[in-house]
A and B are shown apart, each in its own frame.
Chain A
Amino acid sequence: MNLRKLFRSEAASGYLLLSPTAIFSIVVMAAPLIAVVLFSFMTAGYLKIIWTPTLANYVTLLDQPIYVTLMMRSLIVAAVATAATVFSALPIAYFISFFVPPERKSLWLFLITIPFWTSYLIRVFLWKVILGYNGVINSAFLGLGIIHEPMTFLLYNANAVVITLAHAYAPFAILPIFVSLEKIDRSLLEAGQDLGESRFMTFIRVTLPLAVPGVVASVLIVFIPTVGDYVTPTLVGGNNGQMVANLIENSYFKLGNYPLGSAISVSAMGIVTVICLIFLFLNRRFLRSRS
């Protein structure tokens, strides 16, 4: 009788209902992530894995400059791309939240999400067309007589990666900021102005602090996947724009060294996690005041 009651309780029903999704997530995500961590301590033998735990892979990562260089570059490119994406997204989110009439807001959000759903590969490739030697920008500037020979600094470097990523992740940055702006009680802003603050100072002292949770969310949601992006650095990065995902792919498929590839993946995940935690810690004041 007691068991039956327990089975019918609210918590039990909840667990039971959530279990298919939770079990799927444990089997297909959590367990494989643990496997990668284990793998990173193994050694690649000839056609098989040597099951003796060792730190050799991590020593290799620190020893050979290429790994440190590409990891640093990935972090810097992702940080710059994130800053570019979020700063360009802020005014858009602000515009939609504060200046667009309520009945038109969905339309604007829809307009922003459409490009995001067209093939990522083809979008990235089209940036190659825009930025390339015979590309849209070069031919336009040549035609207008602004430049006399095509600019070569546009494509196949970190700049191209930043522009392409800022384009690809735009909706991920706009939507969280928009949501946090929508939550702001508009009477707070009126109060700020009634108390003698200018419109600009009201923005700085009221709107911005209240929007921080959204900005923090969009920074994280853009930064984390961009560090590990593969398609963009491969297509528009050139030799000096390769990032950590290329390194991982290379050690898995070209070198066939799974433990080394796993060690790169684990290090990348660890470093990104630490950076995100530091970032959250630095913003703790704004995040706490909301909840």
Chain B
Amino acid sequence: MNKGRGFRVYAFVYLAFLYAPIVLLPIFAFNDATIVSFPLTGFTTKWFVQMWNNAALGDAVRNSLIVAVSVSILATTLGVFAARATTRYRFPGQAGLLGMIMLPLVLPDIIIAVSLLVTILQLGISLTLKTIILGHTLIATPFTIAILNSAFQSLDRSLEEAAYDLGETKASTFRLIIMPLVMPGIISSLLIAFSISLDEYIIASFLGGTDNTLPLYIFSLFRFANQVPTVMALGTILAVLSVVLLTIAEYFRRRGIARAGGKDTGGFL
């Protein structure tokens, strides 16, 4: 193990780099000063109280939840179709079609934002939360497909055939046999799509019209120095929330793989 020591030290330094900003979050959320800088001046929970009493924030959170829940359901549904189609069937043009569907993974978000804005305005549709949902579903779908693909891939085909032999139809087989087996994958895909939408800024700012989502609201607060500690308090809560959500997602993803008897290859991507 000696030869790995250099790498091990590097790995811990790298983790420190990755976690540096997140460690600062609670420190400033509980720091009794308007200006976010060192040295610290004392402990307070007033930023959390201020955050709680903020009505505009409440609206933004509500809008973000509407968008994120809709996106997680839509993107996961689209992901189920695509993952099932590409893992179960072979057909010409499959790679090309899937490539197109996965394209938002590498397309800069601002390009998606701009192209949807131009199209939506040209069609005379007004910008609301619904248009944000469209944009977010587009960028979240490739992630759901990546997760669901591994869930569908580890399915045993003979279970499905047994169901057909016993007289079940395609639809009832899907509902009774396949769905329960890929359920952990579906739950983890719902959670990932939810997190992606909840965090997205540029598409929401182009397609939101006058509707504010949480990231838009946070961005607007950065301009007011005295609001920054409130953002830190909010960020702390969001960070805790997303760690909890991800732990649940990871738990279901692993259970799904274990249930289908596959080998864990790790990671969401």
* A and B associate: yes
| Cβ contacts under 8 Å, B37 to chain A | 129, 132, 134-135, 139
Q: Is the C-beta of B265 less than 8 angstroms from some C-beta in chain A?
A: yes
Q: How far is the CB of B72 from chain A (nearest CB, A)?
A: 14
Q: Is there an interface contact between A123 and B134, defined as CB atoms closer than 8 Å? A: no
Q: Main SS of the interface on chain A?
A: helix
Q: Is there an interface contact between B94 and A14, defined as CB atoms closer than 8 Å? A: yes
Q: Is there an interface contact between B78 and A113, defined as CB atoms closer than 8 Å? A: no
Indicate with 1 or 0, residue by residue over B247-269, a CB within 8 angstroms of chain A CB atoms: 00010001000000000111111
| Cβ contacts under 8 Å, B20 to chain A | 126, 130
Interface residues on A, range: 35 or more
Q: Is the C-beta of B109 less than 8 angstroms from some C-beta in chain A?
A: yes
Q: Is there an interface contact between A126 and B89, defined as CB atoms closer than 8 Å? A: no
Q: Is the C-beta of B158 less than 8 angstroms from some C-beta in chain A?
A: no
Indicate with 1 or 0, residue by residue over A7-35, a CB within 8 angstroms of chain B CB atoms: 00011111101111110111011111101
Q: Is the C-beta of A245 less than 8 angstroms from some C-beta in chain B?
A: yes
Interface size on B, residues (CB 8 A): 91
Indicate with 1 or 0, residue by residue over A119-136, a CB within 8 angstroms of chain B CB atoms: 111110111011010111
Interface residues of A in 243-291 (CB under 8 A from B): 245, 248-249, 252, 258, 261-262, 265, 268-269
Residue on B nearest A175 in the bound complex, by CB: B269
Provided the pairs A10-B91, A130-B24 are in contact, do residues A230 and B110 lie with their beta carbons within 8 angstroms? yes
Partner of B25, one of A122, A140, A225, A229: A122
Q: Main SS of the interface on chain B?
A: helix
Q: Is the C-beta of A46 less than 8 angstroms from some C-beta in chain B?
A: no
Q: How far is the CB of A210 from chain B (nearest CB, A)?
A: 17
Q: How far is the CB of B51 from chain A (nearest CB, A)?
A: 13
Q: Is the C-beta of B159 less than 8 angstroms from some C-beta in chain A?
A: no
Q: Is there an interface contact between B138 and A28, defined as CB atoms closer than 8 Å? A: yes
Residue on A nearest B11 in the bound complex, by CB: A95
Q: Is there an interface contact between B21 and A126, defined as CB atoms closer than 8 Å? A: yes
Q: Is there an interface contact between A221 and B105, defined as CB atoms closer than 8 Å? A: yes
A139, B141: Cα distance in complex, Å = 43
Partner of B100, one of A19, A30, A92, A111: A30
Q: Is the C-beta of A227 less than 8 angstroms from some C-beta in chain B?
A: yes
Q: Is the C-beta of B208 less than 8 angstroms from some C-beta in chain A?
A: no
Q: Is there an interface contact between B106 and A225, defined as CB atoms closer than 8 Å? A: yes
Q: Is the C-beta of B101 less than 8 angstroms from some C-beta in chain A?
A: yes
Task: Pick from A92, A109, A129, A231 the residue with the most CB of B within 10 Å.
Answer: A129
Residue on A nearest B139 in the bound complex, by CB: A29
A178, B160: Cα distance in complex, Å = 33
Q: Is there an interface contact between B215 and A167, defined as CB atoms closer than 8 Å? A: no
Provided the pairs A99-B8, A139-B39 are in contact, do residues A21 and B141 lie with their beta carbons within 8 angstroms? yes
Q: Is there an interface contact between B106 and A220, defined as CB atoms closer than 8 Å? A: yes
Q: Is the C-beta of A44 less than 8 angstroms from some C-beta in chain B?
A: no
Partner of B115, one of A15, A36, A118, A229: A36
Q: Is the C-beta of B97 less than 8 angstroms from some C-beta in chain A?
A: yes
Q: Is there an interface contact between B111 and A14, defined as CB atoms closer than 8 Å? A: no
Jot down 30 A-B pairs with beta carbons below 8 A, ordered by A.
Answer: A11-B89, A11-B91, A17-B84, A21-B79, A21-B81, A21-B85, A24-B138, A29-B115, A30-B100, A32-B116, A39-B118, A91-B10, A92-B14, A99-B8, A112-B18, A113-B268, A115-B18, A117-B199, A118-B25, A118-B242, A119-B239, A123-B22, A126-B22, A178-B267, A220-B106, A227-B108, A229-B110, A230-B110, A248-B110, A258-B118
Q: Hey, which bits of chain A sit against chain B, CB under 8 A?
A: 10-15, 17-22, 24-26, 28-33, 35-36, 39, 88, 91-92, 94-96, 98-99, 105-106, 108-115, 117-123, 125-127, 129-130, 132, 134-136, 139-140, 167, 170-172, 175-176, 178-179, 182, 199, 220-221, 224-225, 227-231, 235, 245, 248-249, 252, 258, 261-262, 265, 268-269
